Amino acid sequence: MTKIDDLKVKMFADGADLESIKELSKKSYIQGFTTNPSLMKKGGIVDYKKFVIDMLNIVKDKPVSFEVFSDEINEMENQAREIASWGKNIYVKIPITNSKGTKTYNLVEKLSNDGIKCNVTAILLIEQVKEIYQASNPKTDIIISIFAGRIADTGVDPISTMREAVNLCKNKKKIQILWASCRELINIMQADSAGSHIITVPHQILKKIDGVGKDLGQLSLETVKTFLSDAVSAGYKIKTNK
């Protein structure tokens, strides 16, 4: 059975809860962190910069990705440069387009040429990967985040897309392909088998990590015991003829 130590793919924790981040930062198998405005809103974050600084005080030596939130390309650039100035371990998340569908690869090229590490996000198409591949400076670290989970939500197997992206970008060693929108633990193994460099895993899914490699026979028995215990504690009874 697969064990966490056997995997080559790097796991980044995806969330906005500082207490969870503090605990996860102590785990050797967590090699980075990501968040986004939706997760921050869900987590009740109201002061963007304060949250970033608080998080950086916890995560000092692992990569952390924070996202711009302007819909205007020029302001995206301003925000990206400001966010990048807050810490050396920051990757700035840039969406592949704005909400109007305007592409951001020119912005990514400009930031990459200036040595700003980008995490280009919301990618679902191999054509988008090609655009960022062309735009990236070979001397600057960059992450290409492919939303494999959202591809799968449409009924399409994302593994071929991930493999194609890894192969496409292999000549630029500073590019890392990231499996985003992880839905379940098996996605970690799928990302690993596809050659993905990174997978982002939500905090809730990381709570199940101890189950990786568990004996299925033992798990079957534990499941039966749980059903029995719940039925007894609920006081369920069925009258039979015997």
Catalogue the active-site residues: 93
Distance between CA atoms of residues 157 and 116, nearest Å? 33
SS3 176: strand
Are 118 and 111 spatial neighbours (Cβ–Cβ below 8 Å)? yes
Which runs of E-coded beta strand occur in the chain?
10-14, 30-34, 64-67, 90-95, 118-123, 142-146, 175-179, 198-202
Backbone angles phi, psi at 240, to 5 degrees: -120, 170
Q: How many CB atoms lie within 10 A of CB 164?
A: 16
Say how far apart CA 9 and CA 192 lie, in whole Å.
Answer: 5
Residue 43 CA, distance from chain mean position: 17
Nearest Cα to Cα of residue 172 among 199, 136, 145, 197: 136
Cβ neighbours of residue 180 closer than 8 Å, sequence gap 6 or more: 121, 145, 146, 147, 148, 149, 199, 200
Sign of the CA dihedral 227, 229, 235, 239? positive
